[in-house]
Amino acid sequence: MPRLYQSSPRLTFVVLAAAAAAFSLMQSLVTPVLPTIQQDLHTSSGTVTWVLTAWLLAASVATPLMGRISDMIGKDRTLLIALAAIAVGCLVAAIAPNIGVLIVARVLQGLGGAVFPVSFGILRDEFPPAQVSSAVGAMAAVIATGSGLGIVLAGPIAGALNWRWLFWIPMGVVVLVAVAAWRLVPSSPHRTPGRVNWAASALLSAWLVALLLPLSEATSWGWGSARTISLLAGALLLFVAWLGAELRSANPLIDMRMMRLPAVWTTNLVALLFGAVMFGVFAFLPQLMQVPAASGYGFGASVTGAGLLMLPMLVTMAIFGSLSGPMSRWIGSKAQLLGGAALSTLACLSLALEHGERWPVATAGGVFGIGLGLVYSSMINLIVQSVPMHQTGTASGMNTNIRTIGASIGTAVVSSIITSHPGPAGLPAESGYTTSFVILAATGVAALLVALLVPATRRPAPALAGEPVEAIPELTPVEA
């Protein structure tokens, strides 16, 4: 059955958005039900956290690697490989008889990390230049919203059915999306001949694992333990070795000349900091809502109730993320990045100071969603606009990867702070959450300061009456 190469850019976007949403859901869908999985599979609390850690490690390694491969063999083919990995991973997870099989399944799901960079690359290939910013902004909004939507959906699905349906349902969706992608996504018009530098890939995998493993486990191992310190030191040495291998290679996995571009390295540093803020809020705001009311500061909300309190965040995130691209014709991506970082910082500060009632928390969540939608979309736009077309997959994949590393750092640090402030009846003390949100706000300030270093962009003037939109040139970075 041949592909429909006449597929319109809009239809291509719908298919890509569905693929990206399915993968982004996997980031947070299992987080609220980890205690249920632990009890059902008769494992320990330390072991069940590997359901998250395994996904994080696999996605961190696969995203830049598959982004590079997509630039070589074609983004359409790589998209199908990524979707197949997600579907097989979901199937194995849904029937997993024990925690070991479930962890392997999560590794398979993480290999689908190529969905993000591949999707952005296809958008740049298929959309007219003047529409790229809008399409990229809308796609970023889908990804960001999907990341939070998992928290909302997990409770109702697990409550009405059971936690295994958190994998059965995505598997069905991914299979349908894969068929649609095979039929409707055109072949890549731009490819980069070359080969994968497997030595650099191995070193990249090694330093990422050595970094993310102690960050994920430091709460149980201890930040000063020999395992934590030795792995972090090993990560530094492996990073230096990887950097040297990339600089010497004729076929680098990550082009360091590209990474030195002012718009690229500054935006990636913002991604690192903002990833910590984003996932710190995603992971621990619902936890705060579920603390029993008898503690004096929690709401005693169920998993479903906590998810509903996150709805204002998800709604504003989706709206402003979708508007980011069209707004870039009047408000540049850098201005949106600064505004989004400022709003997110204010929201974290508000959560630190006022979290005793539902409405201030929901309001702060809505403000955080506005900031998140603007930051997420503008970051991807800045990256896509700043690199050659043939490096879109690699560059956007590395940005996603850096954000994932930031997420690991943020969740590890916040978890450490909360667990180090024990309260009565085995519950965390309120001061742990307050301190955590203050630190997240300070991280937001750091992201805002780095965003000031991002080069400005020349914004196209609005089209005159009767002037075709396609005539407007693509945004380009201003030379430093």
The pLDDT tens digits of the residues spanning 242-261 come to 888 888 877 777 777 777 88
Q: Which sequence spans correspond to the domains of the chain? A: 9-186+253-459, 197-252
When pLDDT is cut at 50, 70 and 90, the band that residue 393 belongs to is low
DSSP string, 247-269: HH-SS-SS-HHHHTSHHHHHHHH
Q: Is the pLDDT of residue 368 over 80?
A: yes
Q: Is the pLDDT of residue 190 over 90?
A: no
When pLDDT is cut at 50, 70 and 90, the band that residue 292 belongs to is confident
pLDDT of the residue at 46 = 62
**What is the spatial distance between Cα 270 and Cα 70, in angstroms, rounded to a whole number?**
25
pLDDT of the residue at 45 = 63
**What is the spatial distance between Cα 167 and Cα 185, in angstroms, rounded to a whole number?**
25
Higher pLDDT, 60 or 92: 92
Q: Are 193 and 120 in contact (CB under 8 A)?
A: no
Most confident of 75-84, 144-153, 186-195, 399-408: 75-84
Per-residue pLDDT averaged across 263-283, rounded?
87
pLDDT of the residue at 84 = 94
Can you give the pTM of this predicted structure? 0.74
pLDDT of the residue at 463 = 37
Alpha helices in 1-114, H assignment, sequence order: 9-28, 34-40, 45-48, 50-73, 75-94, 99-110
Q: Is the pLDDT of residue 2 over 70?
A: no
Q: What is the pLDDT of residues 328-367, one digit of tens each?
A: 778 888 888 899 999 999 999 999 988 878 888 889 999 9
**What is the spatial distance between Cα 199 and Cα 250, in angstroms, rounded to a whole number?**
12
The number of C-alpha atoms within 13 Å of 205 and in the hemisphere containing its C-beta is 13
Higher pLDDT, 470 or 7: 7
pLDDT of the residue at 232 = 92
Q: What is the pLDDT of residues 78-137, one digit of tens each?
A: 889 999 999 999 999 999 999 999 999 998 998 887 787 788 778 877 777 777 767 777
Per-residue pLDDT averaged across 307-311, rounded?
82
**What is the spatial distance between Cα 142 and Cα 37, in angstroms, rounded to a whole number?**
28
pLDDT of the residue at 468 = 37
When pLDDT is cut at 50, 70 and 90, the band that residue 475 belongs to is very low
Q: Is the pLDDT of residue 178 over 80?
A: yes
Q: Is the pLDDT of residue 27 over 80?
A: no
Q: Are 378 and 336 in contact (CB under 8 A)?
A: yes
When pLDDT is cut at 50, 70 and 90, the band that residue 461 belongs to is very low
When pLDDT is cut at 50, 70 and 90, the band that residue 394 belongs to is low
pLDDT of the residue at 444 = 92
Share of the chain above pLDDT 70, in %: 88
Higher pLDDT, 148 or 21: 21
**What is the spatial distance between Cα 179 and Cα 469, in angstroms, rounded to a whole number?**
32
- Give me the residues paired with residue 477 across strands: 457
Per-residue pLDDT averaged across 30-34, rounded?
78
Per-residue pLDDT averaged across 197-222, rounded?
79
Residue 190 has what DSSP assignment?
-
**What is the spatial distance between Cα 275 and Cα 279, in angstroms, rounded to a whole number?**
6
> Which two structure tokens, joined as six digits, stand for 360?
């201030």
- Would you give the distance in Å from CA 1 to the centre of its chain? 34
CATH class of residue range 9-186+253-459 = mainly alpha
pLDDT of the residue at 477 = 36
Higher pLDDT, 74 or 271: 271
When pLDDT is cut at 50, 70 and 90, the band that residue 391 belongs to is low
Average pLDDT score over the chain: 80
pLDDT of the residue at 1 = 45
pLDDT of the residue at 95 = 94
pLDDT of the residue at 213 = 77
